[in-house]
Structure 1
Amino acid sequence: MMDDRERLTLDEVHELVASVLTRHGLAPAHVEACADVMTAGERDGGGSHGIFRLLMCMNSIRAGKVSLDAEPVVEDAAQGIVRVDAGGAFAPLAFRRGLPALVQKAREVGLAAMAVNDCCHFAALFPEVEAIAREGLVGFAFTPSHAWVAPAGGSRPLLGTNPIAFGWPRPAGDPFVFDFATSASARGELELHRREDRPTPPGWGVDASGTPTTDAAEILEGAMLPFGGHKGSALSLMVELIAGPLIGDLTSVDSIAYDAGAKGAPLGGELLLAIDPSRMLGDGAPKHLARAEAIFEGVVSQGARLPSLRRYEARRKSEAEGVLIPRKLLDEVRAMLV
């Protein structure tokens, strides 16, 4: 049976994404930042956040729902607060421009927050918290999305997939990082199930009448569900609040209303936090960070999964061997170059 995937090097992935975005008018700095995060998604085994995200980005571009060339404006808002106005553009460049100020403020005062406003967010959050952790800081990131998810006990979309990401610096290795949607699946994973005509696991969503289903197409017409029932629902509500009204930006309901059926990237804001262990702990920082390493070892030593290890393993493999991309997806993406 012929393999329905094609192997690309990471450089080829980056070049393809950059070529498509350039072809459709995205400014060079935005092209580079967006191509970097999509390549990172493929590199680390997260196909739903790799090249696949070009489809959503192109919907935003074609519908005129995203600025192609807005220059992010970084504002020193307060002693421990940075604001970045993305100007309605995709989020990666705004994060990249604001990161140095966030890092500097965290080192100066111990804890800093960065609000990224008016951005189209299509990417995973793990590259952002990993970048914070590689500066020796503890990082958090939160963002709403479109209203695709019903609250626990409900049947109508109200919340976003509303991811939460966390990064912890490790003195002798890659940071500990996790990034997950507060919905039972990421939206991209649901879309991939629909494209491949695969049933979803139970509990991912309901159809338009509120009846549980494992048909991805029916869930897309109905509502996704939060993970863990009321617990995931509460976390999702938290994300709506702290990365919506708290930073003066859109909720998931606002975002999907603005989208108006374009199926583009969510528009809204993102909240990032950075904590400096050295400022928090003073001279005791090395001792207490070593205690954290004992916790990680306790997970690994009993054969349990430590989040982020599979990502780094996938990264090393893809850097050496490249990645496999579905041919159907590549055909769609290459058609965008015509």
Structure 2
Amino acid sequence: MANLKETLEIVLERMKKHRDLYEKSEESVRYQTVNPILKDLGWDPENPEDVQPNISTEEGVPDYSLLKTEKKVLFIEAKKLLVDVEKKEIIRKLGQYCFGEGMKYGVLTNGAIWILFRAFQEGTTMAERLVWKVDLENDDMTASIRRLTTISKDNIENIETLIKKLQILDEIWQSLLEEPKELIEGLIPVFEKLVNEGYPEYKFASLEIEDFIKERVRELISPSTESAIEEITGLESFAERVRHRNMKIGKDVFEIRNSYEILITTANWLIEQGKLKPTDCPVGMGRTRNLINREPKHKYGEDFKAPKKLLNGLWIEVHYNTAGCINNARRLLEKFGYSGSILEVE
């Protein structure tokens, strides 16, 4: 796996140069993008003890069967570059292959997008069984490598532990973004030390440093001016700055005046589809926060900072910046079996 980064860079260059080919030819995707990546993950496509292509199962013929110690451990289905591998029917088909063979995980890829999903898990929707998604053309290279290596030959037997570690890191980071107080408090002493050591002739009040760090952390969390973080003192002053716009959920179009209406509209849309019932509560987001609950309370009894009531009487927390409202609305859709991409904000 030492050369995985180099291989990914080569694959990306190929996709840029020969995009038309990969959009038309699944075989080219398999042999020129998928196979090199598998090889650097420890699976030799030319060794039948590692990789067996197009082997029939009771449910069909997956493109790749990966084996370790003569046992099938992972199915991979490859598509043309232009194919949306997040479509339910494509995921469902690979899920059937996996379920029929008692295999817990499967991978879908079009060369650029790689998706790992659980084939079955009681009480979960298809969207909830998506474990990770790698977008080689847009994601940070280090993040892509971190996810892809969970399916390497060396790691495949420990995949559950590795997946859980990824989920923990993502969850903790998301909770820090949603509640950056701990992040800010942790940076203050480090920043003060660097300032005092580097510029001892200048004296800064603690409040000066704290305010500066708050400002910079908020810029990092939401870099665009339109997505400027809400004021600590309340949501309305932030919301008033957002222009009127439209949002779409599938074919349904809604006019919104404030960023928090993205969340409210999405939740009410789910309710109208027969989803998001009181029995689904609490709907959590992160370590300590609930997004939706029967009462406007977070996981440890803390009150919602900006509670709004939904059509069915449930409460939703809308104390987020514009980017946070959009991200959480998409995550909410995914929790109830929809693709987050059906939400668009114009």
Is the shorter-chain TM-score for this pair beyond 0.5, marking a shared fold? Answer: no
What TM-score bracket applies, with the shorter chain setting the length? under 0.3
Taking structure 2 as the reference length, the TM-score comes to 0.26
Instruction: Name which one, 1 or 2, has greater alpha-carbon Rg.
Output: 2
Taking structure 1 as the reference length, the TM-score comes to 0.26
